[in-house]
Structure 1
Amino acid sequence: MTEPTPATPGTAAPAPLLGASDIRRLAEEIGVRPTKTLGQNFVIDGNTIRRIVSVAGIHADETVLEVGPGLGSLTLGLLDAAKAVVAVEIDPVLAGKLPETVKAWRPDASDDFHLVLADAMKVTSLPVEPTALVANLPYNVAVPVVLHLLQHFPSLQHGLVMVQDEVADRLAAGPGSKTYGVPSVKAAWYSSMRKAGVIGMNVFWPAPKISSGLVSFTRRAAPVTTASREQVFAVIDAAFAQRRKTLRAALAGWAGSAAEAERCLRAAGIDPSARGEVIDISGFARIAEAHAIQEV
């Protein structure tokens, strides 16, 4: 079992975190090689971990949800800042090793660590109620994971996720931006999101070919509307399915006809010749509401 390197006597060093040699040694002990399929890129730099935890604004009384803890790089930093950490890991080999690592490196916090072996996209309950989400998310599933967790865990009030830099821009984009799209609008149903920084490639093992972005979010109330979330999201999907089309044309299939789409848009106070890229979440909610009322 890998043990932490002790601090030099007489110094007030911060709690040790996993470095590059520690990560590689832990991986070797369990015969793990990071896989592209699971989007495994392990953070090997302690300063990056401290930066993530600091920007996340975790309080000492919080329970943090971490998705994809891997070998435990971020987990240890979160345990230093929070009351408890619940980690969801899909890889059984990594999940089997993680409690040992926590016990070796943070023996006083091992009782505050909870591990769930599961696919984060299928998790709808946890052993403890999380108040914050902090995670280094696999690039290929980042957006659906964030949306799933915000939907099923209303106790999540804020958080910070590390995703592909391009995805970070999309999540944080506002109406009128070139990167504004489905992820931007759906995320806005649950929270306000902002770009909180960029992480280089050399702090990961293996190093990805692109930079990562940090996205900070704060929970807020959903738009006031009689339409359901599913109804609003259906409008969003239709509006961005063909980005170059006007909303009147893009929503024709969803509404049943271009004429009905125009009626809904005008009822929502939206120009039928506008495109989805300029409409905020409240606007999409009004469109869905106008159609739902007509159906009734």
Structure 2
Amino acid sequence: MRRTGPDRARRVLGQNFLRDARTIAQIVTAARPDPDGLILEVGAGQGALTRELVRRCRRVVAYEIDPTLLARLDEEFRAEPGLRLVPGDFVAARPPTEPFAVVGNIPYASTSRIVDWCVDAPQLTTATLVTQLEYARKRSGDYGRWTQRTVRTWPWLDWRLAGRIPRERFRPMPRVDSGILRLERRPVQLLPPGQLADYQRFVALGFSGVGGSLRASLHRGYPDRRVDAALRANRISADILVGYVWPEQWISLFQAVHPLRH
């Protein structure tokens, strides 16, 4: 079967559009957008989520990389003063210098790039992103295991699975279900800013796999007795697989093992 231009664009850009009103409401409810705050939408697409964001919020900046879709959006929203349409790739944009939130039904192929952009943006308050369900579950610890990326950023970011979306709700229909991944900046960090770099090095050492266990990996950087005492105090088995250590336990381990610098 011969593919049309729009078909090829959807395939290349990973576009799966939402038209289901229940799902749009589910995403916006999870996002809890501030009506007076700045909202950035990743991949406006056909405007289904854009319409609801504009209805609820006074300032929305919507990014769209597909010029055909952008032209349609411009025609529909031309008279809408609260919306600014931006052509191009979202991750090429500079993060705003004021607090802002991100919402988007994002292309699966660009998930890691978009999430990294959000994590690294200093003024980001929240990000509510539709991703593959497996990705959202892994990042939020929904499998009972935790990724290094989540653990390293846990002192200032809360990661959670905020909902599930059946694949039948999208057009074209993807092969897998989706999840709503919610990132939220903590009002108060769980570690002082001056300790974050040391904490991230501590986590990287623990996830290195050197020595065959978390205990053995940490022994390479810290005194054995201090590491063993911290593991016992936090009720963490010496032979536990590193991914099963909760983010809160990582922070407690770090505080017990790492020397304070005055």
TM-score by length of 1: 0.69
Distance 1:76 1:134 in 2: 13
- Which residue of 2 is the match for residue 116 of structure 1? 86
- Residues 262, 178 of structure 1: CA spacing in aligned structure 2 closer, same or farther, 3 A cutoff? farther
Residue 140 of structure 2 is aligned to residue 172 of structure 1: yes
Distance 1:186 1:292 in 2: 18
Distance 1:239 1:140 in 2: 29
Which residue, 7, 16, 20 being the options, matches 1:41? 16
CA apart distance, 1:65: 1.3
Looking at both structures, which has the greater relative contact order when contacts are Cα pairs under 8 Å and sequence separation is at least 6?
2
- Which residue of 1 is the match for residue 111 of structure 2? 142
CA apart distance, 1:209: 0.6
SS in 1 for 2:134: helix
Residue 23 of structure 2 is aligned to residue 53 of structure 1: no
Q: What's the CA shift string for 1:244-274, capped at 9, x where partnerless?
A: 93124445xxxxxx54355597299346655
SS in 2 for 1:209: coil
Contact 2:155/2:191 (CA < 8 Å) preserved in 1?
A: no
Matches within 5 A, 1:73-112: 73-103=48-78, 107=79, 110-112=80-82
Distance 2:12 2:225 in 1: 42
CA apart distance, 1:291: 6.8
Identity of aligned residues (%): 27
**Runs (5+) with no aligned partner, structure 2:** 233-237
CA apart distance, 1:195: 1.9
- Residues 163, 292 of structure 1: CA spacing in aligned structure 2 closer, same or farther, 3 A cutoff? farther
Distance 1:218 1:125 in 2: 16
- Which residue of 2 is the match for residue 246 of structure 1? 213
- Which residue of 2 is the match for residue 269 of structure 1? 230
Distance 1:286 1:157 in 2: 27
- Which residue of 1 is the match for residue 171 of structure 2? 205
Q: What's the CA shift string for 1:168-213, capped at 9, x where partnerless?
A: 1122217xx5332124324524322322221111221110111011
Count of matched residue pairs: 250
CA apart distance, 1:85: 0.8
- Which residue of 2 is the match for residue 190 of structure 1? 156
Distance 2:32 2:77 in 1: 22
Q: What's the CA shift string for 1:73-119, capped at 9, x where partnerless?
A: 2111111111111123334443344222323xxx3xx2211233343
Which residue, 119, 129, 133 being the options, matches 2:102? 133
SS in 2 for 1:245: coil
CA apart distance, 1:159: 4.0
Contact 2:146/2:246 (CA < 8 Å) preserved in 1?
A: no
- Residues 180, 206 of structure 1: CA spacing in aligned structure 2 closer, same or farther, 3 A cutoff? same
**What is the root-mean-square deviation in Å for CA atoms of aligned residues?**
3.5
- Which residue of 2 is the match for residue 163 of structure 1? 131
Contact 2:165/2:177 (CA < 8 Å) preserved in 1?
A: yes
